Amino acid sequence: MPPTWLSDLSWAALALAGVCAVWIAGDQWLSGHRQQMAVMEAVWPVTALYFGPLAVWAYRSFGRPKSPQWRAEHGYDEPPERPSWTAVATGVSHCGAGCTLGDLAAEWAVFGAGASIAGLALLPEYIGDYLLALAFGIAFQYFAIAPMRGLGLRKGLVEAAKADFLSLSSFEIGLFGWMALTQLVFFPHHLRPDQPTYWFFMQVGMIVGFFTAYPTNVWLIRRGIKEAM
């Protein structure tokens, strides 16, 4: 079992991430800083579930200024200039939000079903995580790409799949690699989704996935396959 200090650290990290997610959601919905791209109102709080305070800083620095209310308060007709890397990072967080929701749902489903292959839950988790993350990811991409390009449902879903497949796969490569280390090396067969340490290590894995997906998003945006956000 994980040591007590690690369980305590895990609870603290999860609680802090939850507070950050609630704060961002409240700033958007209660303080009126609604996002120009509606899907980002889900992306920012979900990103805080694994990046915590860093997501709050990114939202305050680059997300909130995209709000029409913020621009009106500060006298901007358009969002202020921002570093080029933030467009890529926002695109990765958009992909990461779909991955996070898919992984959350799949992990509990696999755990509840008691599924395993060769005595390990890791492979069913990989399969469930990837399939549900892809479904959520395509949905998130659709609600970004279709409005920006004026696409209908069928064409919008096709373009969303093209934009999300490589990005999501790159994200999951980092996450899955970290999960393998966690389950096979650090705590062999001892971590389960009903333990806080499991989700703390998932937070770390999602951060790893963010960075493995970053180069892919640079390429996708440069090729015009994925929209800069």
pLDDT at residue 227 is higher than 80? no
Within a domain: residue 77?
no
Query: Terminus-to-terminus CA distance in the chain, angstroms?
Result: 42
Return the higher-pLDDT residue of 81 and 128. Answer: 128
Q: Is residue 165 part of a domain?
A: yes
pLDDT surpasses 80 at 229: no
Report how many domains make up the chain.
Answer: 1
- Give the model confidence (pLDDT) of 166-208 as tens digits: 999 999 999 999 999 998 998 887 789 999 999 999 999 999 9
pLDDT band at 226 (very low <50, low <70, confident <90, very high): confident
In a domain, 192, yes or no: yes
How far apart are the C-alpha atoms of 12 and 7, rounded to whole Å?
9
Residue 79 lies in a domain: no
Quick one: pLDDT at residue 78? 81
193 found inside a domain? yes
What is the structure's pLDDT at 140? 84
Overall size of the chain counted in residues? 229
Residue 228 lies in a domain: no
Domain with 60, as residue range(s), is: 4-72+84-222
Mean pLDDT to the nearest integer, 103-125: 89
Q: Is residue 227 part of a domain?
A: no
Residue 145 belongs to a domain: yes
